[in-house]
């Protein structure tokens, strides 16, 4: 059983991941043959983006099962799940995927073909993700007017998913429907996902894209050069508060001030119904080197103190709508999120 997309390739024996740290200059794949190698790939951002992380972890779970030699299988799989879960704390899709894999494991623990059952479940997640993204794109495309200029932040495209993308899926679907769409991609410091990844994706698709520095957005909004903001999400609370790449909150405030619609595009699996508001979302703090260095070169004084939260939280009052595969969720968010979770 095999899978091959821009982001990942499941060979049946290993998981090959496009090394997103090296884009756009080098297109190179890292091969993972164990769950610990998958965990390393997630933690070190060889693969990134909430949906992609979730599916990657699912295949990591399969590899972990295959590594079992002797002892207590259930205890071994608990350790496999724990190792994978300790990689990125903010993206809820990671935990959603691992819980789903664990449920299938426990329900079929005595089956002789458990290996195939687990592999099938990971493959099912991968193909579901692609279809989910296309549905998100279709639903979101209706919100994008012909001739629009859309601002996006970080990378919520094919590279952040199994394929197609969430926020970029909306843009892709709008273009595929015949609409003329221009994109401004925030560079997204400190990891430059917008400058390196979003620009690379959109250029490959022939979609007009301009890279802008993060601090240009407000001025462009004020000048009337941005018609909508569409971003992805790593975790959405029950009330609609949304965690996404650091800098998203600032864009939401600016969009609100300039009367520009601000959309979140994410699968329902990114909604965490156990969290009532954004105040409960854990925020990952990453290593200082991502801020102190750029392209391998130091850009700040030696010894300076650094803060590097990877995400921020945008409260629901700044969000126009949340675009999911099950439809577009509008305020009141808690009430309508509960409805969509029941569908």
* Active site (annotated) includes residue 163: no
The rounded distance, in Å, linking the Cα atoms of 116 and 32 is 19
The whole-number pLDDT of residue 343 equals 64
Asked, colleague to colleague, whether 3-133 and 142-342 share their fold, the answer is: no
The whole-number pLDDT of residue 337 equals 98
The whole-number pLDDT of residue 342 equals 86
Residues 6+ apart with CB under 8 A from 128: none
Q: Where are the beta strands (DSSP E) in the chain?
A: 3-4, 8-10, 15-18, 29-32, 148-152, 181-186, 209-212, 228-231, 235-237, 242-245, 262-265, 271-272, 293-294, 297-298, 311-314, 321-324, 327-329
Give the H or E element holding residue 131: helix 114-141
- Of the candidates 261, 263, 257, 181, the one whose C-alpha atom is nearest the C-alpha of residue 222 is 257
Long-range contact pairs involving 16-21 (C-beta distance under 8 Å, separation at least 24) = 17/41, 17/46, 17/47, 17/56, 18/47, 18/159, 19/46, 20/45, 20/46, 20/47, 20/48, 20/159, 20/196, 20/197, 21/45, 21/46
CATH number of the domain located at residue range(s) 142-342 in this protein: 3.40.50.10470
Pull the structure tokens for residue 305.
């103190």
Per-residue pLDDT of 197-252, as tens digits, reads 999 999 999 999 999 999 999 999 999 999 999 999 999 999 999 999 999 999 99
The whole-number pLDDT of residue 305 equals 97
Pure H helices in 4-113: 35-43, 50-67, 73-85, 92-107
The structural domains of the chain, with segments of one domain joined by +, span 3-133, 142-342
Phi, psi of 187 (to 5 degrees): -60, -35
The reported pTM is 0.94
The whole-number pLDDT of residue 339 equals 96
CATH number of the domain located at residue range(s) 3-133 in this protein: 1.20.120.420
Q: Active site residue: 186, 234, 241, 312, which one?
A: 234
The whole-number pLDDT of residue 80 equals 98
Residues 6+ apart with CB under 8 A from 174: 137, 140, 141, 144, 148, 181
The rounded distance, in Å, linking the Cα atoms of 77 and 83 is 10
The 148-152 sheet, strands edge to edge: 209-212, 181-186, 148-152, 228-231, 262-265, 321-324, 327-329
Residues of the chain with pLDDT under 70: 343
């Amino acid at each position: 059983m095999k899978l091959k997309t821009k982001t990942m390739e499941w060979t049946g024996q290993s998981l090959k991941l496009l090394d997103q740290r090296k884009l756009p200059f080098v297109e190179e794949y890292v091969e993972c043959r164990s769950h610990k190698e998958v965990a390393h790939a997630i933690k070190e951002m060889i693969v990134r983006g909430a949906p992609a992380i979730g599916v990657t972890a699912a295949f990591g779970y399969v590899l972990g099962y295959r590594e079992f030699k002797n002892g207590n299988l259930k205890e071994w799989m608990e350790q496999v799940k724990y190792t994978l879960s300790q990689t990125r704390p903010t993206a809820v899709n990671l935990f959603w995927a691992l819980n789903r894999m664990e449920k299938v494991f426990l329900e079929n623990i005595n089956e002789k073909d458990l290996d195939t059952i687990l592999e099938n479940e990971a493959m099912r997640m991968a193909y579901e993700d692609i279809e989910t993204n296309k549905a998100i794109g279709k639903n979101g495309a209706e919100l994008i007017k012909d001739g629009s200029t859309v601002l996006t932040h970080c990378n919520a495209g094919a590279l952040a998913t199994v394929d197609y993308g969430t926020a970029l899926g909306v843009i892709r679907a709008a273009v595929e429907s015949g609409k003329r769409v221009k994109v401004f991609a925030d560079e997204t410091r400190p990891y430059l996902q917008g400058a390196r990844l979003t620009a690379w994706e959109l250029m490959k698709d022939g979609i007009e894209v301009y890279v802008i520095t993060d601090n240009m957005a407000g001025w462009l909004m004020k000048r009337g050069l941005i018609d909508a903001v569409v971003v992805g999400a790593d975790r959405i609370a029950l009330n609609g508060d949304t965690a996404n790449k650091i800098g998203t909150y600032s864009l939401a405030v600016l969009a609100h001030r300039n009367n520009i619609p601000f959309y979140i595009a994410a699968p329902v699996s990114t909604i965490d119904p156990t969290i009532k508001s954004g105040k409960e979302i854990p925020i990952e703090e990453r290593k200082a080197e991502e801020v102190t260095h750029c392209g391998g070169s130091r850009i700040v004084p030696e010894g300076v103190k650094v803060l590097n939260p990877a995400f921020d939280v945008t409260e629901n009052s700044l969000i126009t709508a949340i675009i999911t595969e099950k439809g577009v969720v509008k305020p009141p968010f808690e009430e309508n999120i509960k409805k969509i979770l029941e569908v």
